[in-house]
Amino acid sequence: MKQKTTISVFKADVGGPGHMKPFPEMVREIKTYLYGHGDLFKSAHVSTTGDDITIILGHSRGPNDPGIHELCFKAFVAATEMAKRMNAYAAGQDLFSTAFCGNLAGMGPQIIEMEVEERGGETFVLFCLDKTRAGALNGALRRMFGEVGTNTGLLHSSLMQQGYIFEVQDNYFEGPGERVVRLNTRTEMAELTALLVNDDRYVIRSVMSAATGEVGAMVSTFCLDRHSETHVGKDDPVALVRVQGVWPALGDVLNPFSLIFLVAGGMRGSHRVPLMPVKVSTPVSDSDGPAVISAQVFCTCGGVLTPPEDGFDQPTWDEVRRKTAKIATWLRSIEPDGTTLPPEEIEYHGIHETVKRLQPRFIVTNKPESK
């Protein structure tokens, strides 16, 4: 039996100048800590998107390995300590605890761990998003795996024509456990689309091949605001998508982001904003937006990751970015109400407290007289 490779991704905002970008010194702290414990993994890469730092590791220890999780937790703690020394804003924001409890799940960072039997030419895309939530990927994933107009492989591959199984998670479920449903794109595309319209509640957690049963895509679905009374802001998810073979081609996977998706996020996580495909290490500075997504393309051989290529560093995407910026500017021109999220989706609690404070001042007028 072939040895399996585990690809582990951890992403967190642990501070910086405003909500723009981590300081380079913070990134160096993470790299120094990781490579001081290089016996735990086969390869590692550290990058930034907006104000988040992402760690990706290739190893053979399997998902949920305590050593891997503790390593990344302590790396983020090291970056947090550097942020504090530099008097950075929001130092340690996404770390809910300073004590490791055996697993990083539920402690703040976004996490994906995908275990695969490597194919020849094993290639995947790491998507990192900032200033938005996991549902921001609903439309793009539906297109890349389910629509012939995006993925023409659905016309040519008998394996693809068997469909893909989407696992959709209900983020309003309060547990214990997680409430999910599985839908096959071949027979239930309308039902899938009906769920994904509500991108606050229903989010894609994974995509599997109906032909092989293998997992081809995973999205982090941890909701920061539902696990912390003090955290404010969006979840800033990560996603892994395998490409080629039984999966969409690289061009099919990147193509949906040439469209303009309006997603929840932006300033204080409280608006509908366009999702901009950006180069790796791009800061966020325009009204805490627009929401951004980066794409790093890796190959892996025995758990050793190649240096990544930047999926959005190509002239075509410059035009998409210009278009996205124009739409973002236009949307702000119809403020304050035009792009504000519904009250139940706004994660900053001040507006809820204001409305609650005003309730006693309401009076009932034109009340019919009792007979």
Query: What is the tens place of the pLDDT at every residue in 147-182?
Result: 999 999 999 999 999 999 999 999 999 888 999 999
For residues 120 and 211, give the distance between their C-alpha atoms in angstroms, rounded to a whole number. Answer: 19
For residues 260 and 119, give the distance between their C-alpha atoms in angstroms, rounded to a whole number. Answer: 33
Q: Parallel, antiparallel, or unpaired: how do β-strands 238-243 and 262-265 relate? A: unpaired
Weakest mean pLDDT among 172-186, 216-230, 285-299: 216-230
Q: How confident is the model at residue 48 (pLDDT cuts 50, 70, 90)?
A: very high
Q: Do residues 40 and 59 make contact, with C-beta atoms less than 8 angstroms apart?
A: yes
% of residues, the chain, pLDDT over 90: 75
Q: How confident is the model at residue 135 (pLDDT cuts 50, 70, 90)?
A: very high
Q: Do residues 103 and 62 make contact, with C-beta atoms less than 8 angstroms apart?
A: no
Q: How confident is the model at residue 345 (pLDDT cuts 50, 70, 90)?
A: low
* Average pLDDT rounded to a whole number, residues 284-313: 93
At 163, list the tokens: 């469909």
HEC sequence for 229-248? CCCCCCCCCEEEEEECCCCC
Q: Which of 38, 41, 31 is nearest to 62 (CA)?
A: 41
For residues 181 and 179, give the distance between their C-alpha atoms in angstroms, rounded to a whole number. Answer: 7
196 backbone dihedrals φ, ψ, rounded to 5°: -70, -15
Quote the radius of gyration of the chain (alpha carbons, Å). 21
* pTM score: 0.91
Q: What integer pLDDT is reported at residue 47 of this predicted model?
A: 98
Q: Which of helix, strand or coil describes residue 167?
A: strand
Q: What integer pLDDT is reported at residue 333 of this predicted model?
A: 79
Predicted confidence (pLDDT) at residue 231 exceeds the cutoff of 70: no
For residues 93 and 264, give the distance between their C-alpha atoms in angstroms, rounded to a whole number. Answer: 20
Domain ranges of the chain: 1-113, 118-362
333 backbone dihedrals φ, ψ, rounded to 5°: -70, -15
Residue with tokens 């024509």: 161
Q: How confident is the model at residue 1 (pLDDT cuts 50, 70, 90)?
A: low
* Average pLDDT rounded to a whole number, residues 266-290: 84
195 backbone dihedrals φ, ψ, rounded to 5°: -70, -45
Weakest mean pLDDT among 177-186, 323-332, 339-348: 339-348
* Average pLDDT rounded to a whole number, residues 244-251: 97
Residue 18 zone, left/alpha/beta (φ > 0; ψ -120 to 50; rest) = left
Q: Do residues 331 and 264 make contact, with C-beta atoms less than 8 angstroms apart?
A: no
Weakest mean pLDDT among 10-14, 170-174, 271-275, 295-299: 271-275
Predicted confidence (pLDDT) at residue 288 exceeds the cutoff of 70: no
Predicted confidence (pLDDT) at residue 344 exceeds the cutoff of 70: no
Weakest mean pLDDT among 34-48, 56-70, 235-249, 262-276: 262-276
| C-alpha dist (Å) from residue 80 to 28, 83, 222, 360 | 12, 5, 21, 43
247 backbone dihedrals φ, ψ, rounded to 5°: -105, 165
The answer regarding whether domain 1-113 maps to CATH 3.30.450 reads no
